Amino acid sequence: MTESNDENLDEPGFTAEAFEAQDAEFQQLGQCLRATGESWENSQDWAQFYPELEERLVATVNALNFDLEHGALQQHFERAVEDREGQWTAFTQRVLDEANRSENLAARQPLSAQAVEELRSDIESTLDDVEPRFENQFFRQLQGQLGPEKTSLWQRMANTISQWIRPPSWAWGSLAVAMMAAFVLVSASQREPLEPVAVTAPNKVQVDSIQFEGTVTLSQSEDLTVIWLADASG
């Protein structure tokens, strides 16, 4: 039987040795009660069974000097409450539960649902950030399509007429091609000889004139002159 002392109360729980000692005492008490019950079963005086049993139990417990007294438990409880002073109260806990209600509910959801909710919140926040930029561009484009200013009726008529008069872009290209073709035809004329080639470099050969029914390519260097004939007839 363990000694009843305050050291046991300071521990978070009773020690294993104390429990084992009390267990032995309880076993003794149980054997005593069993024997009493058996003896009384054999006796015929049932009316005196329970009071006498109670007297026997109290005497046995007092004799055992049982440690689990009410005062000791009370002290133990009070000391535990003092230790937890300010750490937890039911009201505080309720306030925290209410504030974290959505988080607690989300934590209880399955993992897939939690991922979907998190992704949705990210998308919504991103859209909120980008939305003003899109709106600005949209309004800017709309403003551009509307045009800067309104033109008067006379100005619009003048613009329309000028568009009719002004030739299209392809006309200029055709004119350029026609001019080039005329230049080529004139230069390839068989009747008129080419003008003398002005030789400024000290070439050995000077080509004074050429007559040919085709294309002539003249290649000159200091010591060599080559006249290439192309598309010659015959």
Partner 1 sequence: MIEAFLPVVTVLCLTTAEAQAQPKIKIQVQVIEASTKSKGIDPQLGKLKKAFRGYQGAKLVDQLEAKVQKGSSISLEILRKSRLLSVTFQELKPDGSIQLKVAIEAFKFSAQTTHKKKNATVVVAHETSDSSAIFLAVTPRLE
Q: Say whether residue 228 binds partner 1 (CB under 8 A).
A: yes
Site stretch for partner 1 (CB under 8 A), options 65-73, 95-103, 111-119, 201-209: 201-209
Of the pair 120, 204, the CB lying nearest partner 1 is at 204
What φ, ψ does residue 207 adopt, rounded to 5°? Answer: -90, 110
Rounded to the nearest angstrom, the gap between the alpha carbon of residue 4 and the centroid of all alpha carbons in its chain is: 63
Of the pair 115, 226, the CB lying nearest partner 1 is at 226
Of the pair 119, 232, the CB lying nearest partner 1 is at 232
Instruction: Single out the residue of 2, 22, 60, 225 in contact with partner 1 (rule: CB under 8 A).
Output: 225
DSSP 9-30: HHSSS--HHHHHHHHHHHHHHH
Q: Which of residues 172-191 bind partner 1 (CB under 8 A)?
A: 190
Site stretch for partner 1 (CB under 8 A), options 2-10, 31-39, 75-83, 204-212: 204-212
Instruction: State both tokens at 25.
Output: 């005492």
Instruction: Single out the residue of 2, 8, 36, 203 in contact with partner 1 (rule: CB under 8 A).
Output: 203
> What is the Cα–Cα distance from 186 to 180, expressed in whole angstroms?
10
Longest CA–CA span in the chain (Å) reads: 167
Site stretch for partner 1 (CB under 8 A), options 69-77, 89-97, 158-166, 210-218: 210-218
Instruction: Identify whether the C-beta of residue 40 lies closer than 8 Å to the C-beta of residue 49.
Output: yes
75 contact partners, CB below 8 Å, separation of at least 6: 9
Instruction: State both tokens at 38.
Output: 């058996």
Q: Which positions touch partner 1 (CB under 8 A)?
A: 190, 203-214, 221, 223-230, 232-234
